[in-house]
């Protein structure tokens, strides 16, 4: 107790450790979100990224969620790419965040004529604003229309070849095991917070004990066959189900998606565990924020504070949220 306490009797403050230094540098630490769909968010949500210190982001323009027609045709995905290219400069102008693009072919729903997209993709990858291919990666089960595994794999591998040719990293969509809450929602309602026509999920094309992990293994094999260095693969939606495999048997980066923890069960605690177990050198964090989901544009900033609270050093936090994304995507410098 400090003798100079003016309070009538000792308060909690008198027992505090006045020597503790708090990591004030984290309040202004710039960060990079390597996987979001911010072009689908509201203006206010994008402003939240800016206010929270986001330096740069990769806005991923792929995904069946935003195409009105199912099954999807090449032209529908092409529209998504063009829409993002069209709107990106205004987003940078309005919020001062460096907003770059990831373009790819998502396999969450079958695309009728993917070769047409693959044929056009090379020219898109020449654009200076395109810094990644993706998100892509084989998916165990599709929405609306099944896509056989060998066909999906061919589309993923072809994108990886393009990425290797254009010296771009690939953002992998790694499937998560759904966290079992013990209850399911009325089938006609689906999952609240996830805008999706319920009941249209198709039978899986990957069987076995652990289809989510099998899918990642197929992707890594595809990268090897495509001649894409594993260091150029960023496995987004990394989780406890795929961390050991990716860390111990590959050189891929792992990006933990923490913008919709309520859905996939991954949060800053998982990131802290991974940093403690494997060091920060191949770890990133992303939000995957999108308008079709209940997501939090402040999630990455919150994770920075949370990682410190969980015992991670500011130096390692900086590596994970800034240095690694800079290195791999060449943005936010
Ligand atoms: Zn995404």
| Kind plus residue range of the DSSP H or E element containing 255 | strand 253-257
Report the separation in Å between the CA atom of 171 and the middle of ligand 1, taken as the mean of its atom positions.
9
Encoded tokens for 243: 């961390």
320, 281 contact by CB (below 8 A): no
Q: How far is CA 103 from the centre of its chain?
A: 14
Report the separation in Å between the CA atom of 134 and the middle of ligand 1, taken as the mean of its atom positions.
9
- In whole angstroms, what is the distance from residue 149 CA to residue 191 CA? 26
48, 36 contact by CB (below 8 A): no
39, 83 contact by CB (below 8 A): yes
Report the separation in Å between the CA atom of 107 and the middle of ligand 1, taken as the mean of its atom positions.
12
Q: What is the pLDDT of residue 242?
A: 97
Report the separation in Å between the CA atom of 105 and the middle of ligand 1, taken as the mean of its atom positions.
12
Report the separation in Å between the CA atom of 61 and the middle of ligand 1, taken as the mean of its atom positions.
9
Report the separation in Å between the CA atom of 238 and the middle of ligand 1, taken as the mean of its atom positions.
12
Report the separation in Å between the CA atom of 9 and the middle of ligand 1, taken as the mean of its atom positions.
55
Report the separation in Å between the CA atom of 187 and the middle of ligand 1, taken as the mean of its atom positions.
24
Report the separation in Å between the CA atom of 65 and the middle of ligand 1, taken as the mean of its atom positions.
10
Report the separation in Å between the CA atom of 94 and the middle of ligand 1, taken as the mean of its atom positions.
23
Report the separation in Å between the CA atom of 300 and the middle of ligand 1, taken as the mean of its atom positions.
15
Report the separation in Å between the CA atom of 58 and the middle of ligand 1, taken as the mean of its atom positions.
10
Q: What is the pLDDT of residue 178?
A: 65
Q: What is the pLDDT of residue 207?
A: 87
- Provide the residue-wise pLDDT of the chain in tens; the chain has 333 residues: 455 779 999 898 888 777 889 999 999 999 999 999 999 999 999 999 999 999 999 999 988 889 889 889 999 999 999 999 999 999 999 999 999 999 999 999 899 999 999 999 999 999 999 999 999 999 998 888 899 999 999 999 999 999 999 999 999 999 998 666 678 888 888 889 998 887 788 888 998 899 999 999 999 999 999 999 999 999 999 999 999 999 999 999 999 999 999 999 999 999 999 999 999 999 999 999 999 999 999 999 999 999 999 999 999 999 999 999 999 999 999
286, 36 contact by CB (below 8 A): yes
Indicate the SS3 state at residue 280: coil
Report the separation in Å between the CA atom of 191 and the middle of ligand 1, taken as the mean of its atom positions.
17
Please list the residues that pair with 282 across neighbouring strands.
none
70, 106 contact by CB (below 8 A): no
Encoded tokens for 271: 């990131």
106, 54 contact by CB (below 8 A): no
Q: What is the pLDDT of residue 3?
A: 59
Contacts of residue 20, Cβ cutoff 8 Å, sequence gap at least 6: none
- In whole angstroms, what is the distance from residue 103 CA to residue 120 CA? 11
Report the separation in Å between the CA atom of 62 and the middle of ligand 1, taken as the mean of its atom positions.
8
Report the separation in Å between the CA atom of 172 and the middle of ligand 1, taken as the mean of its atom positions.
9
332, 325 contact by CB (below 8 A): yes
Question: pTM of the entire structure?
Answer: 0.95
Ligand 1 ion: residues within 5 Å (CB): 288
Q: What is the pLDDT of residue 12?
A: 87
Q: Which phi and psi (to 5°) does residue 304 adopt? A: -60, -50
Report the separation in Å between the CA atom of 254 and the middle of ligand 1, taken as the mean of its atom positions.
14
216, 254 contact by CB (below 8 A): no
250, 221 contact by CB (below 8 A): no
């Amino acid at each position: 107790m400090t003798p100079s306490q003016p309070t009538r009797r000792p308060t909690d403050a008198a027992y505090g450790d006045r020597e503790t230094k708090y990591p004030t540098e984290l309040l202004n630490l710039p960060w990079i979100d390597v996987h979001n769909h911010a072009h689908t968010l509201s203006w206010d949500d994008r402003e939240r990224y800016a206010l929270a210190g986001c330096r740069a982001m990769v806005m991923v323009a792929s995904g069946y969620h935003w195409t009105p027609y199912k099954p999807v045709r090449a032209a529908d995905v092409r529209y998504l790419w063009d829409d993002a290219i069209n709107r990106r400069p205004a987003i940078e102008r309005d919020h001062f965040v460096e907003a770059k693009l990831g373009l790819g072919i998502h396999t969450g729903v079958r695309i009728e004529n993917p070769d047409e997209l693959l044929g056009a993709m090379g020219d898109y990858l020449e654009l200076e604003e395109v810094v990644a291919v993706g998100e892509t990666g084989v998916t165990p089960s599709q929405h609306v229309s099944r896509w056989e595994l060998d066909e999906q794999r061919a589309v993923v591998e072809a994108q990886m070849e393009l990425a290797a040719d254009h010296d771009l990293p690939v953002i992998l969509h790694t499937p998560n095991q759904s966290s079992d809450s013990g209850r399911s929602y009325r089938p006609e309602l689906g999952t609240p917070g996830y805008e999706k026509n319920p009941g249209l999920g198709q039978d899986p094309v990957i069987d076995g004990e652990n289809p989510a992990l099998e899918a990642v293994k197929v992707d890594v094999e595809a990268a090897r066959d495509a001649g894409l260095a594993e260091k150029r693969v960023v496995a987004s939606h990394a989780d406890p189900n795929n961390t050991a495999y990716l860390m111990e048997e590959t050189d891929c980066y792992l990006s933990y998606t923490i913008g919709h923890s309520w859905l996939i069960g991954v949060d800053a605690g998982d990131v802290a565990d991974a940093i403690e177990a494997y060091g920060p050198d191949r770890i990133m964090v992303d939000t995957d924020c999108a308008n079709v989901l209940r997501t939090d544009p402040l999630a990455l900033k919150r994770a920075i504070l949370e990682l410190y609270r969980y015992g991670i050093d500011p130096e390692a936090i900086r590596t994970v949220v800034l240095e690694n994304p800079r290195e791999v995507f060449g943005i936010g410098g």
